[in-house]
Amino acid sequence: RKEVEQDPGPFNVPEGATVAFNCTYSNSASQSFFWYRQDCRKEPKLLMSVYSSGNEDGRFTAQLNRASQYISLLIRDSKLSDSATYLCVVNHAGAAGNKLTFGGGTRVLVKP
Amino acid sequence: DVKVTQSSRYLVKRTGEKVFLECVQDMDHENMFWYRQDPGLGLRLIYFSYDVKMKEKGDIPEGYSVSREKKERFSLILESASTNQTSMYLCASTPRRAGDTGELFFGEGSRLTVL
Q: Is the confidence at residue A91, as pLDDT, over 90?
A: no
Whole-angstrom distance, CA of residue B75 vs CA of residue B91: 9
Express as a percent the part of chain A with pLDDT over 90: 78
Asked if B25 and B82 count as a contact pair (C-beta separation under 8 A), the reply is: no
Instruction: Kindly list the residues from chain A whose CB atom is less than 8 angstroms away from the CB atom of residue B90.
Output: 43-44
Output the pLDDT for position B80: 97
Name the residue in chain A with its Cα closest to that of B108.
Answer: A43
Q: How far apart are CA B12 and CA B3, in angstroms?
A: 25
Instruction: Name the amino acid, one letter, at B81.
Output: A
CB contact under 8 A, A102 and B102: no
Confidence at residue A38, expressed as pLDDT on a 0 to 100 scale: 96
CB contact under 8 Å between B106 and A44, yes or no, is yes
B110: which chain A residues are within 8 Å (Cβ-Cβ)? none
Non-local (6+) Cβ contacts of B48 within 8 A are: B31, B32, B33, B34, B55, B56, B58
pLDDT attached to residue A65: 95
What is the H or E stretch that residue A50 is in? strand A45-50
CB B49 within 8 A of CB B66: yes
Set of chain B residues whose Cβ sits within 8 Å of the Cβ of A92? 99
CA atoms within 13 A on the CB side of B86: 10
User: Does A40 contact chain B (CB < 8 Å)?
Assistant: no
Give the mean model confidence (pLDDT) for residues A89-98. Answer: 72
The pLDDT tens digits for B41-82 are 889 999 999 889 999 999 899 999 999 999 999 999 999 999
